[in-house]
Each structure stands twice: as C-alpha cells, then as structure tokens.
Structure 1
C-alpha cells in the first residue's frame, strides 16, 4: 500500500470512528428568560391540529378535509354500504342536500353494489366520494362540475327522504 493511500485510509477510519461514536459539538444551551415579558414569549408545545370543519365561504378544496372526515366516519360504522348513510351524515355536517347526488346501493339484479358514489356540488366544483368492496378504503376528491349542473354521470337515485 502506498503512503498516500495508507494515510487516506487512516483518515477515513478516524472520521468513521468519530461519526459512529457520536463525537459532535454539544448544542448551545437555551437562554433562560430574565423577565416576565420574556417568559411569555418562550416557545410552547403546539396543540394538536383542529379537526376539519365546514367552510361555508370556502372552495370545494377547502371543504375536502371535512367531507373526507365524514365519509371515513360513515365507512367505519354499520351503515357503510348504504348511500343514504353518507347523504344523511353529509347533511348533518352542513352540506346542502339539494346539491347532492348518490348512486344506487344495489345492482339491477338486486345484488349489493360493488361501489357507491355520492357527490356535493360546491360552486363550479364537486366533492365526490366513492366507497364499496371494489373500492377498498373510501376515496374522496374534488373535480369540476358537469355543465348540466350535476356531478355524477349516469343514473343516480332520487334523494327524496
């Protein structure tokens, strides 16, 4: 081994040893407040983020977290396979029932639907949810509304309750 190579290998070995042994400068201690005004500006632990809520003047994207939370809570309950459960929960959360659409819970031959879709028209956009055995976990998103005024294409069921 040449002298230069040996020195380089030795330097790398020392650097690796120092890194692995935790040799690093100690952080500087935090200054202690000396007056009551300084004490009130000391950093505090942050509180947990607030739960999402309906934002009436907000956009569809602003309301997606709340929409998603409602969908997830229904999915976790007993009414997870009934479109009405989602419509009722969204209405209870403050979304406008008249702006909603939902697909059927059963297929044309009477079997449980592989997925259920529901929506809320919000201005020019739509909050869309999809749940069911074919979907896995609930899916929610915001998409542009249809020119016809609705959100879902194809056959939907009347929301007459």
Structure 2
C-alpha cells in the first residue's frame, strides 16, 4: 500500500530542508558574503603606484573599481605566459604591479589528496571591497571581479594558503 503525504506535511518537510539547501547553494556560489553594516577596518591595499609588467600605471585613486583593469591585466599576462595554476605566480606578479602582499589571499595549489587544483582564487583587499581572480582548467578563462569584502576583513571564504614568501 502506498502512503500519500498531506500537502501540509510536504510544506513542513520543505521548510525543514530549506536551510540545508540554502547552505549548500551558498557554499557552491561564486559570490562573496553580503556587506556588513559595520565598516570594515581599512587595510593598506596598494603600495606606491608603479608600472605593471606591461607598463600600465596603477590608478592614483586606488579604488577597487579603478584597479580592476590592472589586476585583470596582470592575471591575464601570467595565464597567457604559462597557464599557471600556482598561486605564487599571481601573487608575485601582483606585488610587482604595486599591490600590497599583506592585503592578499590565495587558495591552495593542490587538493587535500595532493592532486593539482582544478582552479585557484586569489584576492587583494581594497578598503571594503576585494579584487578576486580565478584561473584554472576547470573555468572557461581567467576571471576577475570586484566583490564586497567579508566582515572579518578577508576576501575569500574558507581556508587559504599562507603567503609566507
């Protein structure tokens, strides 16, 4: 005999499962957490303006939107040269372009079982926003966005690699 669930029972089940589904979807989404109502403590994000490897100067106003073309250009150049999925290559190139290393985050180059990462992300905190880049064979191409900074003062969600070089 087949048991039918009442519409009320179905609604209760959906309501009970909604938080789990929402958490799962948020964990997979490429978006950062929403902006906090508290102002993030500003951190130094760009060192003195200097030329990028292609000779493009870092904009004097230093806003994330103004710096996105430089960030993108640096990321694209590293990818074009090597199709690298090594975070250090991007961090070093961004530092050479005038971005402050202490405002950066980068994900691991390898998975937890020692395989090469399908993609990596790297970021630079600019006041309350972040420049976030992603490269790797599992993404259609290098991608760079301006995203809201996380309330904790970071840009990337989850465990990141120490930038200790």
What is the TM-score normalised by the length of structure 1?
0.66
Cα RMSD between the aligned structures? 1.6
Aligned with 1:118 (options 87, 106, 122): 122
- Name the counterpart of 2:29: none
The runs of 5 or more residues in structure 2 that have no matched partner are: 1-54
Query: Structure 1's 122 and 56: CA in aligned 2 closer, same or farther, altered over 3 A?
Result: farther
Counterparts of 2:164 and 2:111, CA distance in 1: 20
- Name the counterpart of 2:160: 156
Quote the offset at 1:59 in angstroms. 1.0
Q: Secondary structure at the match of 1:129?
A: strand
Counterparts of 1:147 and 1:138, CA distance in 2: 26
Quote the offset at 1:58 in angstroms. 2.8
Q: Secondary structure at the match of 1:77?
A: helix
Matched, 1:139 2:143: yes
What is the TM-score normalised by the length of structure 2?
0.65
Cα deviations across residues 86-109 of structure 1 (Å, max 9, x unaligned)?
A: 000000000000000000000001
Counterparts of 2:60 and 2:105, CA distance in 1: 19
Quote the offset at 1:77 in angstroms. 1.6
- Name the counterpart of 2:68: 64
- Name the counterpart of 2:34: none
Query: Structure 1's 134 and 150: CA in aligned 2 closer, same or farther, altered over 3 A?
Result: same
Counterparts of 1:58 and 1:86, CA distance in 2: 19
Counterparts of 1:79 and 1:56, CA distance in 2: 30
| 4+ aligned runs moved over 4 Å, structure 1 | none
Q: Which has the larger radius of gyration?
A: 1
The runs of 5 or more residues in structure 1 that have no matched partner are: 1-50
Matched positions, count: 112
Task: Say which structure, 1 or 2, has more relative contact order (CA 8 Å, 6+ apart).
Answer: 2
